[in-house]
A and B are shown apart, each in its own frame.
Chain A
């Protein structure tokens, strides 16, 4: 009971699969020759779980079409994802998780390190996930930046290393810069600071997300913007800083500032679309979902910058043999562009932008990535119109947006204390 599983531990599953696949795997240890088991791989089923943002049925269908095996998807909320990654290692093959979750669960040994030499597009992965630098001149933002938890020392590493060691904890797939979402029609004036979230003008019409690791960062952005306090490192607060931050928000809550808190993506969409809330922490596709209902909604760029997050795919420690090969095959396919293009057209960024470009029209690429005005209608992957000719993406180009990131979603040293304080905030 002490530890949930051990890395490379033998499970019934691996034993059963072992016999069937040893012969084949021995013949094709490198991924370059997948055709050797082209028949068998069709029987493979990979079970993936993650948050709703990237667990899309369209991806599963495309995997079936392109790779021939079955991908089962389970979408959960962020806390449940963390919980499952840490406590139920046998319930998944692929973990689609965020980097801060990786920081929490990596030491539990439920995920295995991935050999970057087997990743075809490794060299094309954005700098943010490798050196941490978006461009050579960039500064690294505060918090759990993906590259700090992206590499481990070796195939059985339980630590994190700073350099590109050749063994990745997660293969990055998706990331974005988050900010506040607003209803411009109900607010009727420009919003340009995080502090507006606690502006009494929006009493009873504001919301923040009830996911502590993310919510605390939004809170910190607001507190700094209000001029109450400047954190040495928002991503790693002291107990006093946590008390201060949550104290300010508890007071606001008691004064009736918030209409509700949300935990899942659709809750945030409903709050915004129904007009219950006019300003709140929000995720990019939630904005898209509100807009596609014909309701104006802006992902408002703010002077203080963005809070960012990144996600990637991790492989269960229990995976071996043909299933492990299938997992690598899947990850290589994931980075090869189709999914990237799909995610980019929802407003996320792909970890390998170059390959995604091939799966987007020039106009889409210009709109989503380069921040150019749309030449024609911009539609979502599901066919809803998101922007018309002449419209520009909120926040501009990739470099404008990712270049203004000031902090990443984090796990702090005082995480447990923070979580308890967060619980008090919710109960207050």
Chain B
């Protein structure tokens, strides 16, 4: 008897991936795909210097975004969990964090464009304050803009799991640490951070996979000038090169799986939960 969960996973997860693997060995012309078994797509992928640049870019975005969301997310969660005393206020402020998520991802992202532009609010404000004389060009259509949008979009995914684990830390542990003479920094480093590791790890997995799989943020915020792996795939699909897109997708999938595998080495989520 196959359990329902296994059946669901087989149909909606394993089967599509198997199909993608199969198609990645096919051949494509401009308007049709031809079943075949050849390594051309992979050969082209690994033979092109662009692939390496693009994968490097993808990791760069993931790493910087991760670092920023971790710092911001941890701080917000810490404040909510340890500085807000009443549960009511904790819930109220937590809900406040989620309000921006009532609008769509794309709207939140695009709203940065008029803000950061050459004649945008940021530049004109800075100029009227006399901080700068010339508009800052790299605010928009740059890696800075891409990462800013990522951080804005995905910080909540860091806040939620970290907040969740922090709420479950026994307050008596902190009191005990203080009684034993630890100062604030020592409590943070030796008690709170080790105990919130599972939350950090779950947040990390969310952020890393979201950033590595994204293509639309990179397209809009870089003004189509930068590429990550997702854009490579979406360009291929737009040009009907499904086999080549599949091959790229498989390589991306493996890369993300390896990354997560390494991450999970650091923390045994199952044990900690």
Whether A1 pairs with B240 at a CB distance below 8 angstroms is: no
Smallest CB separation, B259 vs chain A (Å): 21
Q: Is B34 an interface residue (CB 8 A)?
A: yes
How far, in angstroms, from A423 to B35 measured CA to CA in the complex? 24
Whether A104 pairs with B30 at a CB distance below 8 angstroms is: yes
How far, in angstroms, from A1 to B35 measured CA to CA in the complex? 8
Q: Give the residues in chain A near B237, CB-CB below 8 Å.
A: 83
Residue of A nearest to B235 (CB): A423
Interface size on A, residues (CB 8 A): 40
Q: Is A4 an interface residue (CB 8 A)?
A: yes
Q: Is A3 an interface residue (CB 8 A)?
A: yes
* B 109-121 to A, binary, CB cutoff 8 A, 1 in contact else 0: 0000110011110
Whether A419 pairs with B239 at a CB distance below 8 angstroms is: yes
The answer, among B32, B141, B241, for a CB contact under 8 Å with A108, is B32
How far, in angstroms, from A20 to B71 measured CA to CA in the complex? 66
Q: Give the residues in chain A near B10, CB-CB below 8 Å.
A: none
Q: Give the residues in chain B near A80, CB-CB below 8 Å.
A: 238
Q: Is B225 an interface residue (CB 8 A)?
A: yes
* A 249-272 to B, binary, CB cutoff 8 A, 1 in contact else 0: 000010000111111000000110
Which residues of chain B from 217 to 257 have any CB-CB distance to chain A below 8 Å in the complex? Answer: 219, 222-227, 231-232, 235-241
Q: A79-B239, A261-B225, A274-B118 are in contact. Are A415 and B231 (CB under 8 A)?
A: no
Q: Give the residues in chain B near A419, CB-CB below 8 Å.
A: 239, 241
Whether B32 pairs with A83 at a CB distance below 8 angstroms is: no
Whether A108 pairs with B31 at a CB distance below 8 angstroms is: yes
Smallest CB separation, B72 vs chain A (Å): 28
Smallest CB separation, A122 vs chain B (Å): 28
Smallest CB separation, A209 vs chain B (Å): 9
How far, in angstroms, from A2 to B206 measured CA to CA in the complex? 37
The answer, among A2, A212, A270, A427, for a CB contact under 8 Å with B32, is A2
Residue of A nearest to B54 (CB): A427
Among the interface residues A212, A275, A427, which one has the most CB atoms of the partner chain B within 10 A? A427
Whether B31 pairs with A210 at a CB distance below 8 angstroms is: no
Residue of B nearest to A419 (CB): B239
Which residues of chain B from 127 to 185 have any CB-CB distance to chain A below 8 Å in the complex? Answer: 137, 140-141
Residue of A nearest to B234 (CB): A79
How far, in angstroms, from A244 to B239 measured CA to CA in the complex? 22
The answer, among B33, B34, B50, for a CB contact under 8 Å with A424, is B50
Q: Give the residues in chain B near A212, CB-CB below 8 Å.
A: 239
How far, in angstroms, from A82 to B240 measured CA to CA in the complex? 8
Whether B31 pairs with A258 at a CB distance below 8 angstroms is: no
How far, in angstroms, from A421 to B150 measured CA to CA in the complex? 28
Q: Is B48 an interface residue (CB 8 A)?
A: yes
Q: Give the residues in chain B near A207, CB-CB below 8 Å.
A: 223
Q: Give the residues in chain B near A423, CB-CB below 8 Å.
A: 50, 232, 235-236
Whether B119 pairs with A274 at a CB distance below 8 angstroms is: yes
The answer, among B137, B226, B232, for a CB contact under 8 Å with A204, is B137
Residue of A nearest to B110 (CB): A270
Whether B31 pairs with A259 at a CB distance below 8 angstroms is: no
Residue of A nearest to B118 (CB): A276
How far, in angstroms, from A423 to B48 measured CA to CA in the complex? 11
Q: Is A428 an interface residue (CB 8 A)?
A: yes
The answer, among A1, A79, A104, A253, for a CB contact under 8 Å with B31, is A104
Whether A87 pairs with B238 at a CB distance below 8 angstroms is: no
How far, in angstroms, from A263 to B223 measured CA to CA in the complex? 10
Q: Give the residues in chain A near B232, CB-CB below 8 Å.
A: 423, 427
Q: Give the residues in chain A near B241, CB-CB below 8 Å.
A: 416, 419
Q: Is B53 an interface residue (CB 8 A)?
A: yes
Q: Give the residues in chain B near A274, CB-CB below 8 Å.
A: 114, 117-120
Whether A4 pairs with B114 at a CB distance below 8 angstroms is: no
Residue of B nearest to A270 (CB): B113
Whether A275 pairs with B238 at a CB distance below 8 angstroms is: no
How far, in angstroms, from A274 to B48 measured CA to CA in the complex? 36
Residue of A nearest to B135 (CB): A275
Whether A1 pairs with B223 at a CB distance below 8 angstroms is: no
Whether A420 pairs with B32 at a CB distance below 8 angstroms is: no
Among the interface residues A87, A258, A424, which one has the most CB atoms of the partner chain B within 10 A? A424
Q: Give the residues in chain A near B231, CB-CB below 8 Å.
A: 426-427
Q: Is A317 an interface residue (CB 8 A)?
A: no
Q: Is A107 an interface residue (CB 8 A)?
A: yes
Q: Give the residues in chain A near B141, CB-CB below 8 Å.
A: 259-260, 276
Q: Give the residues in chain B near A402, CB-CB below 8 Å.
A: none
Whether A2 pairs with B240 at a CB distance below 8 angstroms is: no
How far, in angstroms, from A210 to B239 measured CA to CA in the complex? 12
Q: Is A86 an interface residue (CB 8 A)?
A: yes
Whether B32 pairs with A426 at a CB distance below 8 angstroms is: no
How far, in angstroms, from A62 to B86 measured CA to CA in the complex? 62
Q: Is A59 an interface residue (CB 8 A)?
A: no
Q: A1-B33, A2-B35, A83-B237 are in contact. Are A258 and B225 (CB under 8 A)?
A: yes
How far, in angstroms, from A204 to B117 measured CA to CA in the complex? 13
Q: Is B101 an interface residue (CB 8 A)?
A: no
Whether A83 pairs with B238 at a CB distance below 8 angstroms is: yes
Q: Is B44 an interface residue (CB 8 A)?
A: yes
Q: Give the residues in chain A near B235, CB-CB below 8 Å.
A: 423, 426
Q: Is A191 an interface residue (CB 8 A)?
A: no
Which residues of chain B from 3 to 54 have any CB-CB distance to chain A below 8 Å in the complex? Answer: 29-35, 44, 48, 50, 53-54
Q: Give the residues in chain A near B117, CB-CB below 8 Å.
A: 274, 276
Q: Give the residues in chain B near A270, CB-CB below 8 Å.
A: 113
Q: Is A406 an interface residue (CB 8 A)?
A: no
Smallest CB separation, B9 vs chain A (Å): 24
Among the interface residues B35, B223, B236, which one has the most CB atoms of the partner chain A within 10 A? B223
Q: Is A105 an interface residue (CB 8 A)?
A: yes
The 10 listed contacts between A and B (C-beta, < 8 Å) are A210-B224, A258-B225, A260-B222, A261-B225, A263-B224, A275-B119, A420-B48, A424-B50, A427-B50, A427-B231
In the complex, besides A263-B224, A416-B29, 13 extra interface pairs with C-beta distance below 8 angstroms are A79-B238, A80-B238, A83-B238, A105-B31, A260-B223, A276-B118, A276-B141, A416-B30, A416-B241, A419-B241, A423-B50, A423-B235, A426-B227
Q: Which 8 A-B pairs have the closest CB atoms?
A: A260-B223, A261-B224, A427-B227, A79-B238, A108-B31, A86-B31, A424-B50, A427-B50
On A, residues with C-beta under 8 Å from B are 1-4, 79-80, 82-83, 86-87, 104-105, 107-108, 204, 207, 210, 212, 253, 258-263, 270-271, 274-276, 411, 415-416, 419-420, 423-424, 426-428
